[in-house]
Structure 1
Amino acid sequence: MSTHASPPPAAAVSGRVLALLTALAVTLGAAFVLAPGRLAAGPSDGGFGERRNLIATLRQGFVEYWKSGDRSFSPELERVVDYWYRYHVVKAVCAALLLVVLVVLGVLLWKAFLRGTTALRTGALASAGVVVTVLALGSLAALMANVQGATAPFSSVVSMLPLGAPDGQLAGVVGQVRQDLAHYSGADGQHTPAVEVMVNDFGRYHAVLAVAASIVAVVLIGLSVLAWKRFAGARARGAGRQERRVRRLLGALGVVSVLLSCATIIIVVANVGTAADPAPALLGFFEGGW
């Protein structure tokens, strides 16, 4: 009679490791919120940490840029755009590090859930795993948004202008921008250099998000396929308590991955369309529709 050795039990997840990763995640989350303004500010733009100072300088720089008739930014606008680029780079780095920590923490929590021995313990681990998974998805979205902002900081920072209800000189400039965009054609060349720069940058802004979302969609589709294959394998192994728990987790992962894949594909399609023809969307943006 032959016997089969049982596989050794997986090592228990250390509570100290979980606590350390949780503390690191909290620290990185705080850094994501608090650090970018300080780290991005240079000697000449320390006041940009105050939102009103940033917007005031942006308003002045944008009006000067439009009136100059040049493609190159005015000095004030250049200063704001450079600051906004650094700001998004810092936030992207914080988001990327936070995402890594949350993914590791989530994997450990779900592994501990599968090994749980009591209803109370498994319930607590499942709740913690769901929270960490949601936070990881939020960190991924933040990473994508800040990569997008760092790649096209001009389009990103212009969104801070009060375009829905402009006043003073800004009102006149926004009206002229709207008029130019309403008759914009990339082929005839009958538009101001500033509008051409804005349209090109806005197209790049959406192209970057389309590429990032495409990568995420591919990963999610692969994750869904892997989850369903393992789900089938767990089902074939039997109907024990451990197998049922594994199937529930893999099934939930497969469903969530499919739903997120569909949502991400919609984002890709929308942004590809905008990147291909950015002028109408930019007009809607300047008309306060976003």
Structure 2
Amino acid sequence: MSPTAVSSRPSTLPARALGLLTALAVVLGIAVFLAPPLLASIGSTSYANESAIRDAFTNAFVDYWAAGQRDYTPALDQTIDYWMRFHLAKAAIALVLLAVLVTLSVLLWKAFLRSGNLSATRRSTLASTGAVTVLLALFALLLVIANIQGTFAPFSSLLSMLPMNTADPELARTLTQINQQLADSQGAPAHTPPLDVMITDFARYHAILAVVAATVAIALIGTTILFWRRFTRSSDGRTRRVLASFGTLSTLLSLTVVVLAAVNASTAAHSAPALAGFFAGGW
């Protein structure tokens, strides 16, 4: 093997890795929006679009409330099962996408730090591409968090589809009765069975987000400490600027996620008033 071939391999392999990871990210980015409805339909009822899901859930919700029982009606159970499968598929794809984007971001920024012999244009391209990839990774992280919520509390996730300002007399009557019961109970433990189920699931919905946000916050805090430690130990100007940028971003994200965890933990602990606020249009 010639010396030229040996020296070119370190630059060729990262280029191939970048190309493969970019292609994989594009495929996963498309799949995260197109695949979940198809995967959720396997072994379950399929819906043509989100409007069909909304209509099916609204009708099933009205019937469930009228039935006055804790157990879901068959129609509601069917819709909830589909929605759980949908979010599970989306969370799984988004998690793989997040891993790919994080790996791609690391490779891009490492390439940028080693780009001293490249032109200013190529360095600028690496930096801008790396920044965009980081933003996409954050978006993928949001998808993972939101869909974990939907997977473990699909009923509360579906509640957001209810048309609160509706002209449907049956749904309007149902919403009025729910609002009245929530106002009368003032958070007391005695509720009708369907309302009790809603309050419990609403608490679960926010507790899940609180736990996931707290987990993410711990990871971000650890990453923040790592960035700033490396910043203090580095003497290279470009490396310090990159580490300072990521350290600042990670610090801000850590604070944001900590607040998110605290707010949702509080909401979970006071789910009845929070649910009343939701049905009053405050969520």
TM-score by length of 2: 0.92
What is residue 88 of structure 1 aligned with on the other side?
87
Gaps of 5+ in 2: 1-6
| Deviation, structure 1 residue 42 | 4.4
The number of equivalent residue pairs is 273
TM-score by length of 1: 0.90
CA–CA separation in structure 2 for the residues paired with 1:122 and 1:84: 44
Gaps of 5+ in 1: 1-7, 236-242
Any idea what SS the aligned residue of 1:49 has?
coil
Identity of aligned residues (%): 47
What is residue 240 of structure 2 aligned with on the other side?
247
| Deviation, structure 1 residue 205 | 0.2
| Alpha-carbon RMSD | 1.7
In structure 2, the CA distance between the partners of 1:168 and 1:63, relative to structure 1 (3 Å rule), is same
Query: Is 1:164–1:288's contact at 8 Å kept on the other side of the alignment?
Result: no
Deviations 1:25-45 (A, max 9, x none): 010011100011111014662
The letter of the residue matching 1:263 is: T
What is residue 140 of structure 2 aligned with on the other side?
139
What is residue 263 of structure 2 aligned with on the other side?
270
Deviations 1:168-219 (A, max 9, x none): 2000001101111113355542x21000000000000000000000011111
Range moving further from structure 2, 127-136 or 51-60: 51-60
CA–CA separation in structure 2 for the residues paired with 1:67 and 1:249: 59
Deviations 1:263-290 (A, max 9, x none): 1111011101100011111111112222
The letter of the residue matching 2:219 is: V
CA–CA separation in structure 2 for the residues paired with 1:188 and 1:203: 13
What is residue 33 of structure 1 aligned with on the other side?
33
Range moving further from structure 2, 35-44 or 82-91: 35-44
What is residue 206 of structure 2 aligned with on the other side?
206
What is residue 281 of structure 1 aligned with on the other side?
274
Q: Summarize the alignment of residues 60-139 of structure 1 with structure 2, pairs less than 5 Å apart.
A: 60-116=59-115, 117-118=117-118, 119-139=120-140
Deviations 1:121-154 (A, max 9, x none): 2111000100000000110111000001100000
CA–CA separation in structure 2 for the residues paired with 1:98 and 1:181: 41
Query: Is 2:14–2:107's contact at 8 Å kept on the other side of the alignment?
Result: no
What is residue 176 of structure 2 aligned with on the other side?
175
The letter of the residue matching 2:227 is: A
The letter of the residue matching 2:257 is: T
